Amino acid sequence: MARPLGAAGYDRVASALLSTRLPFEAVHRHILHLVPARAGRILDVGSGPGHDAATFAAQGHEVVAVEPTPELRAGARALYAGLAISWLDDSLPELERLTAARPRPFDFILLEGVWAHLTEDERREAFPVLAALLANEGALAISLRHGPAAPGRITHPVTAAETIALAEASGLTTVVNVETGSIQPINVASGVSWTRMAFAKR
């Protein structure tokens, strides 16, 4: 993750993310039906402040939360110390530490607000890695951010068409493709919009 604000500035950004928790059901309303109804294995890639991982863990799921940023990972671990979440220092596109452990497949994989931070080449490299981690009956959910980047962060243009092509090349089919606005006031004011997508194995 880029740090144009400097370490102190990024600490402030991390603190803001940790203290801001958007309604889970509102953010993920387009993909909630794909989350396992019974206890399953969930992978949260780019888990950030850990709010989504915590919700999944509270529902009884076995959760692995991947976050490469030390401030966010440590803050999330402290914030949700009472929940059974495996916090992992790893990053896309390779997820090198996770894949080296040869984990059992995941029933649900979430990438919330992550995909646009990868370059086009990184996204092309990452998709087969994610598809290989997905259980046969599982779902991979990805949100695409459109519009200006948040302060202190860098984003790259991304489209639904590109993402669908990458999914199909990795043996996945599209099950959700919805364009939606933001619910966070700062994003609304900045003109940020989203495409909520989900994929499953053919």
Where in the chain does DSSP place strands (E)? 41-45, 62-66, 85-88, 106-111, 134-146, 172-181, 193-201
Report the pLDDT value the prediction gives residue 178, as an integer from 0 to 100: 98
User: For all residues of the chain together, what is the average pLDDT?
Assistant: 90
For the stretch 92-121, pLDDT in tens is 999 999 999 999 999 999 999 999 999 999
Report the pLDDT value the prediction gives residue 4, as an integer from 0 to 100: 43
What is the C-alpha to C-alpha distance for residues 195 and 143, in angstroms, rounded to an integer?
Answer: 6
What is the C-alpha to C-alpha distance for residues 173 and 191, in angstroms, rounded to an integer?
Answer: 29
What is the C-alpha to C-alpha distance for residues 22 and 128, in angstroms, rounded to an integer?
Answer: 30
Confidence (pTM): 0.88
Residue 13 has pLDDT above 50, yes or no: yes
Mean pLDDT of 163-181: 97
Residue located via tokens 């194995």: 201
Report the pLDDT value the prediction gives residue 150, as an integer from 0 to 100: 77
What is the C-alpha to C-alpha distance for residues 118 and 134, in angstroms, rounded to an integer?
Answer: 20
Per-residue confidence band for 183, with pLDDT thresholds at 50, 70 and 90: confident
Identify whether 93 is preceded by a cis peptide bond (ω within 30 of 0): yes
Which of 4 and 176 is assigned the larger pLDDT?
176
CB neighbourhood size of 193 (10 A): 14
Report the pLDDT value the prediction gives residue 18, as an integer from 0 to 100: 57
- Angle in degrees, 0-180, between the axes of helices 70-79 and 6-19, rounded to the nearest 10: 30
Report the pLDDT value the prediction gives residue 151, as an integer from 0 to 100: 72
For the stretch 41-100, pLDDT in tens is 999 999 999 999 999 999 999 999 999 999 899 999 999 999 999 999 999 999 999 999
Domains of the chain from N-terminus onward: 47-91 (no CATH), 94-202 (3.40.50.150)
What is the C-alpha to C-alpha distance for residues 166 and 153, in angstroms, rounded to an integer?
Answer: 24
Q: Where are the alpha helices (DSSP H) in 28-150?
A: 51-58, 70-79, 96-100, 120-133
Residue 111: phi, psi to the nearest 5? -125, 95
Residue 199 has pLDDT above 90, yes or no: yes
105: its two tokens: 């497949």
Report the pLDDT value the prediction gives residue 81, as an integer from 0 to 100: 95
% pLDDT > 90, the chain: 78
Cβ atoms of 51 and 35 closer than 8 Å: no
Report the pLDDT value the prediction gives residue 6, as an integer from 0 to 100: 43
What is the C-alpha to C-alpha distance for residues 181 and 110, in angstroms, rounded to an integer?
Answer: 19
Residue 3 has pLDDT above 50, yes or no: no
Cβ atoms of 138 and 201 closer than 8 Å: yes
Which of 1 and 171 is assigned the larger pLDDT?
171
Which of 22 and 194 is assigned the larger pLDDT?
194
